[in-house]
Chain A
């Protein structure tokens, strides 16, 4: 990463859910930077907080149950968490847009595809309906939808899952955003369709030098698509680094366990490594390593104190006491 321009800087983000008396630290002190043209992957299992991280960036959260307690999200020098509702809406869909997991339910069933793409355009730019329609048509061409002029007047239920996801991507591209947040964009799709969509996203990134934050539970998708990755567990980042580094030499016992538990196409494993136990529920404040109950290298310190995010090398971080001794002086 030589002098790459940082486009998004997330600092110490904390987003908590409140359910009854419980306070769930869904995201508990997450920091990262996204460079221009970079694809950053966030991988984690359910409940790791990966989805809440990206939703917090554009504050797409249920106000009644969820609150951003702390942190800054700097985009072009502005803290998105401090913007007024109006200013924030000017960012959403224009500079930062989002692609969702379930394409059918993410499109409004009662409006045509064309109408919904035009809405994305007309929300941010003033032009005639006819011009917006032309732009929508052009967008459908760019996401490689066959006979786009016919599809404009179709309703979402008339398209296949893969086509619906392309429409969502077209909608996200409507105003030439700088960042796309993609929340499990291929999880609901068949494998052969998944590879089409992943290829489309890579091509768009290359053509427009856009930045993408890609959330997934699938390590394969991360390896395929991303430049850098964050591994999340229990609301915190456990490990961060370039994908090539993390896959070549995973540091955190959780990352190691996760990689070892995936059945491989290349090698024959008699038995899979299985991380023992279940994903625990956390209550704020947490005062131990969040992975200690399932870790096979756990020791006393892990249960007493939450480890800091320790820098190991260039852009390489891990949150684990195993790596503390030799680096403790650097991090305090």
Chain B
């Protein structure tokens, strides 16, 4: 890993107005979908982003892709600001893979058109030149060249996801944002696709931002992990440090909530009370206070991210007090 981050996210914010009324729409507040998120992404690493519904992980992906404008802060890709109007030469460096392999492929285009489409937008190539790029990629994602002339409905979910991956790769991007790319797949197919991500990372030196709600998938693919809750970063750390020593009560609860396929491993489960609050009614201060088993008065003040180890940051007041061990 070299020292200059490939992607810098600094205090990124995205808020949406909440409106009410039939004739005149009045603003009655804002939803902070992404609230003050900062991190650096280094070449060749995989940053896992984990969180439950409403944690802002998908909005973050949109911001990083430059698909929506920031409400505050900045995002830089190789030093240049990421914006919806950024130049094509920049956009090709960051590509996305989507969750739903059914709705993310146009059913009326054949696979060749789907996969070549980014090339048509970004470059002006002859048929042979396009083939030279596309055929090796089809092989890398585990699809035969014959698949190019078929249509999406002729493929199963896992194969469609491979088509989506091929489409993301044709421009030879450096960063790929994966938004829940295996959530819609069966376990056996999920393993195939996860292995494909790993091998592509090796072959092409890719950098991933991997968004998921599944802690075991995140643990498998990531080098570093960022835990989000209601738009904010709760904890960010290397995988080793996070799994060895999770400091935030939310991270701890999230880890303990995952049912392990091992009846012998009876763990001491932390079951959180109550529902995920809607982002519209996010409590002031620490967003997790309404469900936190260790909440205290101080939590009404928003905790800052504090360093607790090398590259390990936690936003929790307990960290100062030395209560969490």
Contact = CB atoms under 8 A, between A and B. Distances in A.
B156 A278 contact: yes
Interface string B176-203: 0000000000111111101100100000
A259 B216 CA distance: 13
Interface string A25-49: 0000000000000000000011000
Given A190-B52, A190-B276, A263-B216, A274 B263 contact: no
Given A243-B263, A278-B159, A191 B187 contact: no
B7 to A, nearest CB: 25
Interface in B268-307: 269, 271-272, 275-276, 291
A262 B258 CA distance: 13
A221 B259 CA distance: 5
A104 interface: no
Contacts of A259: 261
Interface string B247-268: 0000001111111111111000
Q: Which of A222, A225, A272 has the most CB of B within 10 A?
A: A272
Q: Which of A162, A190, A218 has the most CB of B within 10 A?
A: A190
B189 A278 contact: yes
Contacts of A225: 259
B56 interface: no
Interface stretch (A81-89, A176-184, A194-202, A307-315): A194-202
A195 B258 CA distance: 8
Contacts of A243: 263
B156 A279 contact: yes
Contact of B191 (A218, A247, A265, A274): A274
B52 A244 contact: no
B158 interface: yes
Given A190-B52, A263-B217, A271-B195, A198 B259 contact: yes
Contact of A274 (B53, B195, B214, B221): B195
A269 interface: yes
Contact of B187 (A45, A161, A266): A45
B187 A265 contact: no
B51 to A, nearest CB: 9
A35 B261 CA distance: 23
Nearest to B291: A192
B275 A274 contact: no
Contacts of B257: 191-192, 194-195
Given A191-B52, A223-B263, A266-B260, A272 B215 contact: no
A244 B264 contact: yes
Contacts of A261: 187-188, 190-191
A248 B188 contact: no
A247 B260 CA distance: 11
B186 A279 contact: yes
Interface residues of chain A: helix, strand, loop or mixed (majority): helix
Interface in A294-322: none
B219 interface: yes
B289 to A, nearest CB: 15
Given A196-B272, A274-B191, A222 B261 contact: yes
A111 interface: no
B254 A223 contact: no
Given A219-B187, A265-B219, A278 B158 contact: yes
A68 interface: no
B312 interface: no
Contacts of A264: 216, 220, 260-261
A275 interface: yes
A161 B217 CA distance: 23
Contacts of B275: 160, 162-163, 193
Interface string A180-216: 0000000000111111101100000000000000000
Contacts of A218: 259
Contacts of A262: 187, 191, 216, 261
A161 to B, nearest CB: 8
Nearest to B274: A146
Nearest to A254: B188
A269 B217 CA distance: 11
Contacts of A217: 186-187
Contacts of B187: 45, 217, 219, 258, 261-262
A141 interface: no
Contacts of B264: 244, 247-248
A212 to B, nearest CB: 15
Given A219-B261, A223-B262, A192 B272 contact: yes
A219 B216 CA distance: 12
Nearest to A273: B191
B13 interface: no
Given A261-B190, A272-B195, A220 B263 contact: no
A198 B259 CA distance: 10
Nearest to A160: B275
A46 B191 CA distance: 15
A148 interface: no
A104 to B, nearest CB: 13
Contacts of B243: 265
Contacts of A279: 156, 186, 188
B265 A266 contact: yes
B225 to A, nearest CB: 12
Interface of B: 52-53, 156, 158-159, 186-192, 194-195, 198, 213-217, 219-221, 243, 253-265, 269, 271-272, 275-276, 291
Given A194-B257, A195-B271, A262-B191, 17 more contacts: A190-B53, A190-B213, A192-B272, A193-B52, A195-B256, A195-B272, A196-B272, A217-B187, A220-B258, A224-B263, A243-B263, A258-B188, A262-B261, A263-B216, A263-B219, A265-B255, A279-B156
13 contacts: A45-B189, A160-B275, A161-B53, A191-B52, A195-B259, A195-B269, A196-B271, A199-B269, A223-B262, A224-B259, A271-B198, A272-B195, A275-B191
Q: Which 4 A-B pairs have the closest CB atoms?
A: A220-B259, A263-B220, A261-B191, A219-B261
